[in-house]
Structure 1
Amino acid sequence: MAASGLPVAILWSTIACFLFGVQNYAIAYTNSLPGDDFCRTVGLLWFFTGVCGLGALARHPLHRIFFSEAEAKPGLAESLIAPEAGTVTLLSKTATLGGGLAIGMAQLFMKLSFGADPDAEGPLASVICADVILVSVLCHFVYHEYLNAAQWGSVALVFAGLITMAGVFDGGGGTSVSPVAFSLAFAAMISFGASIFSVRVAAVGGIAASSGFIARTLILGAFSVPLLIAARWDSSSTSHTHAARFSLESEESFPLHMQAAGVYSINEALSAGPYTSISIAIFGSNSLVVLLLAAIVEGHVPALSALVGMALTASGCVIISLAAPPEAPPEDEGLEEMSSSLPRKGGNRYSTGGFGAA
């Protein structure tokens, strides 16, 4: 890979960081809009995600939900594809569908968390972004992708940040993040971590990245139906002015556009070369964007202990990414782009393969 790939990876990672930060803040901001209906906001987000899945399904030449990398790219040299990539296991299908639901639950918990403590949107976002720690620890024990000493230190750093934000050290003075908001953010972090880990399980089980994307988006679209049925659509659920109604509808659909653009930016960053660790460290820091937007737009400034906890957590997430062993470059650069998303023989490479507030 040419050296020029690094600036490209940094550029797209920075764009993804900004987009996901704006998306997370937009989800939080809908809580403050008059007439915001929880079921309608989340239901619309899930529904249009499902529409994206239908579009991807219609455009894919196989026209089915589950397929392997070997089926998706039959012309690829057999030596580049791991043996498990030719078949799709029941476990990988179940994990993929469960991962889609986990993404939806993470978005649901995130919105509830931001609504429970609007002043702490930045620190709460950093809790949610700590899913990278959870996934790294799981892969350490399940797939033997061992963490080094620096990465274990970052795990301790994140843990210190979480308990600081939880108020363990504030002496009961009420200066930390709201316990309810923190618990909901922690649930969102667990859900996002589960969704990302499901991508790893699916990759081992032979599911193609595009197949996983289609399945996760479609399952979210299906589960949007009960929420949309339960949502309030009458005039009493929205402001009586046309301007306010337009603002509300725009805010409810805005996170979807940011999410789609963010996923595209992540894919571009991860395709720029063997700079996954740097890319994850950058776009995983989107809680800083949430913090700045909350302070500038709404004047929400977290308590000092929350800021300290946020700094510790964000630092740990960056360190665990940067301290990862460097990825080995492909032996044949001419085949690099074609093989970048495949599970390789003798390797454990995986990417997000999906979407969400990374």
Structure 2
Amino acid sequence: MDQRHTVTGRFWHRLENGKLQCDLCPRFCQLNPGQRGLCFVRGREDDEIKLYSYGLSSGFCIDPIEKKPLNHFLPGTPVLSFGTAGCNLACRFCQNWDISRSRETARLSDSASPEALARTAQRYDCRSIAFTYNDPVIFHEYAVDVAQACRELGIKSVAVSAGYVTPEPRREFYAHMDAANIDLKAFTESFYKKICGGSLAPVLDTLAYIHHDTDVWLEITTLLIPGENDSDAEIRQLSRWVAEQLGPEVPLHFTAFHPDWKMLDHPSTPLSTLRRARQIALEEGLAFVYTGNLPDREGNTTYCIACHEPLIQRAGYTLTAWNLDQRGCCRHCGHPLAGYLEPQPGHWGARRLPVRIGD
């Protein structure tokens, strides 16, 4: 084990039977000496729970912030993105499965200290850094240290997560975040249990916590899988919950599935399904509903909730029109747009730029 990338975890306790229980996520893995949790990057060593991927990554890349997806947080700006390995869910449809299901941390060939990451983001004029590709919940200690280093340089931190985390680490984690996109994978316990190896309730708790108890800007993504979570009834229930429990101005993204990993027998999601879901969510009172992974001009556009004029138009990840004044208000009627906006949009476009830390 490479001790340079091994640190003691902060959330665990000893059980009466001698096992150590990891308290980071609702799996509550109970470990004997030498065992690892389902996430694989946390395990028992020296009578402690350790994180084995501190400072490691499968690669660093500058993306458009819209790719996270975040449409109301620093639109048009570049974000330095990275992930590690492993995950605390086991989604059969995972589209980053080579990273999230990896059982070999040696494949993480890139490394960076929190301070080096923050300096790199600053050097490339990134307004934010994103913990993505796999779930930052499982590399909690590293993500928090990176976020602290970035905050000292005025760089924002973005969590792209499934929200499968327990209350105590959640409080610490989101105290350091500025924005989050939470993957609400479905709206039934059976889907979470059968297809993800988890449960829905903790994710709903996380969504409510972020929105009501923090200043973190929140957006939600649901990947629609044909025959699994794309019925009118489920989409309506999910949209109604978001509108009633979080509010109508929380953006919701419906994105398209493509066959991958252990769900190669399902067809790709057609655009008609995304448009149907968007219409249902609008009917349930949500103001900002987007479609993703497929071209859809209307579903990629941000509209004013007061006068319904287009405010931000996009072609994929590229901004094509900006109808907001410097206060972030509609140029047509003056109504403010919910979000974290700067006086002018960024112009990063759809570029993807791999970087090496320290270049």
TM range (shorter): under 0.3
More helix by share: 1
**TM-score relative to the length of structure 1:** 0.27
Normalized per residue, which structure has more strand? Answer: 2
